[in-house]
């Protein structure tokens, strides 16, 4: 049996609007190789190999303070791309969908001269990075 010690089993994120989240992540994650894994009234998940990402609708009583990546907690999620072409394709798709690309003045090298990536935010302003191998 192959050992999985230390690998991420799953990440669960509470979201303010599950429908917007599903619309956003539901096209993006399959582009990165994920498939829909679980689906229930208050949540959805997508899986890639042995790890999965879960999005759950937050209760109304917890929606008074919106997410901000500079507070204590999650800063961003970063995913591998297959290539620079895939980063370019996803950047184009994000723009078509009206998603704001972050750090446009330095895109696609916002992470440095040896870091080809696109940075953007999901509907709850969680920063997402998709980085290509160089």
**CB contact at 8 A, 48 and 62:** no
Q: Where are the beta strands (DSSP E) in 2-69?
A: 10-15, 35-40, 43-48, 51-57
Question: Can you tell me the mean pLDDT for 95-123?
Answer: 97
pLDDT of residue 125: 95
Output the CATH code of domain 8-60: 3.10.180.10
Question: Can you tell me the mean pLDDT for 9-20?
Answer: 97
Q: Tell me the C-alpha distance between 107 and 131, whole Å.
A: 12
pTM above 0.75, yes or no: yes
Question: Can you tell me the mean pLDDT for 63-82?
Answer: 93
pLDDT of residue 39: 97
Mean pLDDT of the chain: 95
Can you give the residue ranges of every domain in the chain? 8-60, 75-134
pLDDT of residue 1: 61
Q: How many CA atoms lie within 13 A of 12 on its CB side?
A: 7
Tell me which CATH homologous superfamily contains domain 75-134. Answer: 2,3-Dihydroxybiphenyl 1,2-Dioxygenase, domain 1 (3.10.180.10)
Question: Can you tell me the mean pLDDT for 52-56?
Answer: 98
Selection from 20, 22, 61, 67 nearest residue 43 by Cα: 22
């Amino acid at each position: 049996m192959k050992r999985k010690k230390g690998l991420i089993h799953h990440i669960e994120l509470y979201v303010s609007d599950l429908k917007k989240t599903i619309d956003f992540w539901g096209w993006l994650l399959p582009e990165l190789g994920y498939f829909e894994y679980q689906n229930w009234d208050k949540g959805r998940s997508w899986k890639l190999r042995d790890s999965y990402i879960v999005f759950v609708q937050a209760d109304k009583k917890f929606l008074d303070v919106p997410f901000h990546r500079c507070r204590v907690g999650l800063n961003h999620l970063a995913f591998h791309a297959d290539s620079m072409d895939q980063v370019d394709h996803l950047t184009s798709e994000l723009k078509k969908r009206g998603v704001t690309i972050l750090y446009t003045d330095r895109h696609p090298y916002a992470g440095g001269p040896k870091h080809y990536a696109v940075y953007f935010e999901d509907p709850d302003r969680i920063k997402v990075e998709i980085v290509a191998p160089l």
